[in-house]
């Protein structure tokens, strides 16, 4: 199994249990995007403290996810990119 296949499987598993922040965090960790990792951990902490995900945090998480997908798209094949995108 390739690293990308493993990553896709992990993202899918997190998404399946509605851990959307965890799924984006997995991609950030894979890319070693430390600034995004920190921000996602902050988003997760705020989500847990409030007991729900507010739109502002969800929108920021989506922006981060899209930025990370752009970054990884430059490093993988187009087929792998489709797999990553579909995992979310």
What pLDDT does residue 13 have? 98
Task: Provide the whole-model pTM.
Answer: 0.94
SS3 (DSSP) at 51? coil
Question: 43-76: per-residue pLDDT in tens?
Answer: 999 999 999 999 999 999 999 999 999 999 999 9
What pLDDT does residue 1 have? 65
Helices 55-73 and 20-30 sit at what angle, rounded to 10 degrees? 30
Question: 21-48: per-residue pLDDT in tens?
Answer: 999 999 999 999 999 999 999 999 999 9
Cα dihedral 7/12/14/17 (nearest 10): -170
What pLDDT does residue 2 have? 87
């Amino acid at each position: 199994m390739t690293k990308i296949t493993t990553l896709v499987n992990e993202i899918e598993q997190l998404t399946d249990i509605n851990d959307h922040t965890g799924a984006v965090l997995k991609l950030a960790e894979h890319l070693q995007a430390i600034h995004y990792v920190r921000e996602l951990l902050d988003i997760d902490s705020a989500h847990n403290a409030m007991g729900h995900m507010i739109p502002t945090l969800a929108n920021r998480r989506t922006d981060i996810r899209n930025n990370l997908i752009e970054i990884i798209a430059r490093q993988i094949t187009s087929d792998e990119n489709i797999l990553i995108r579909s995992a979310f």
